[in-house]
Structure 1
Amino acid sequence: MSNTPIKVIAFDVFGTLAKIKQKISPYKKFIQWLHTQGHTPQASDAVMVMSINGEFQDIATHLGYHIPQAFLIELHKDLQAELAQIELFTDSLPTLKRLRENGYKIVLCSNSATPYGMYISSLIKEIDLYAWSYEVHACKPDPKIYKYIIDQLNCQPNEVLFVGDTPLADVQGPTNFGMSAKLIDRKNGQTLDDVLMDFL
Structure 2
Amino acid sequence: MKTPSSRKPAIKAVVFDAFGTLLCIGTRKQPYLQLMRLAREAGRPPQWDDARTLMTHKLGLAAAAERFQVSLPISSLAALERDLFEELSSVTLYSDALPAISVLREAGIKIAVCSNLAAPYMVPVKLLLPALDAYCWSFDVSAIKPEPAIYQHVAHQLACPPSSLAMIGDTLGADCLGPRRCGLRGYHLCRQAEPAEDAFSDLISFARFVVDTTE
TM above 0.5, yes or no, is: yes
Structure exhibiting the larger radius of gyration computed from Cα positions = 2
Give the letter aligned to residue 199 of structure 1. Answer: V
Aligned with 1:195 (options 206, 212, 215): 206
C-alpha deviation, 1:35, in angstroms: 2.2
CA contact (8 A) 1:57 1:66 kept: no
1:42 aligns with 47
Cα deviations by residue, 1:28-58 (Å, 9 ceiling, x for unpaired): 0011122233433123211211111131112
Q: Does residue 126 in structure 1 map to residue 131 in structure 2? A: yes
Alignment partners' CA distance in 1, 2:139 and 2:72: 20
Give the letter aligned to residue 134 of structure 1. Answer: F
Alignment partners' CA distance in 2, 1:59 and 1:128: 30
CA contact (8 A) 1:162 1:174 kept: yes
Alignment partners' CA distance in 1, 2:208 and 2:102: 14
Of 38-47 and 150-159, more deviation after overlay is shown by 38-47
What are the equivalent positions in structure 2 for 1:15-164 lying under 5 Å apart?
15-164=20-169
Give the match's secondary structure for 1:87: strand
Give the letter aligned to residue 98 of structure 1. Answer: V
Give the letter aligned to residue 67 of structure 2. Answer: H
Give the letter aligned to residue 102 of structure 2. Answer: K
C-alpha deviation, 1:86, in angstroms: 1.4
C-alpha deviation, 1:92, in angstroms: 0.6
Give the match's secondary structure for 2:108: coil
Alignment partners' CA distance in 2, 1:6 and 1:66: 49
RMSD of equivalent CA atoms: 1.8
Alignment partners' CA distance in 2, 1:196 and 1:153: 18
What are the equivalent positions in structure 2 for 1:159-178 lying under 5 Å apart?
159-178=164-183
Give the match's secondary structure for 1:40: coil
C-alpha deviation, 1:176, in angstroms: 0.7
TM-score (norm 2): 0.85
Give the match's secondary structure for 1:198: helix
C-alpha deviation, 1:160, in angstroms: 0.7
Alignment partners' CA distance in 1, 2:99 and 2:59: 31
Stretches of structure 2 that go unaligned for 5 or more consecutive residues are 195-200
CA contact (8 A) 1:52 1:59 kept: no
Identity %: 34
CA contact (8 A) 1:136 1:148 kept: yes
Alignment partners' CA distance in 2, 1:185 and 1:43: 28
Give the letter aligned to residue 194 of structure 1. Answer: S
Give the letter aligned to residue 198 of structure 1. Answer: F
Alignment partners' CA distance in 2, 1:187 and 1:117: 25
Alignment partners' CA distance in 2, 1:18 and 1:186: 13
Alignment partners' CA distance in 2, 1:34 and 1:107: 35
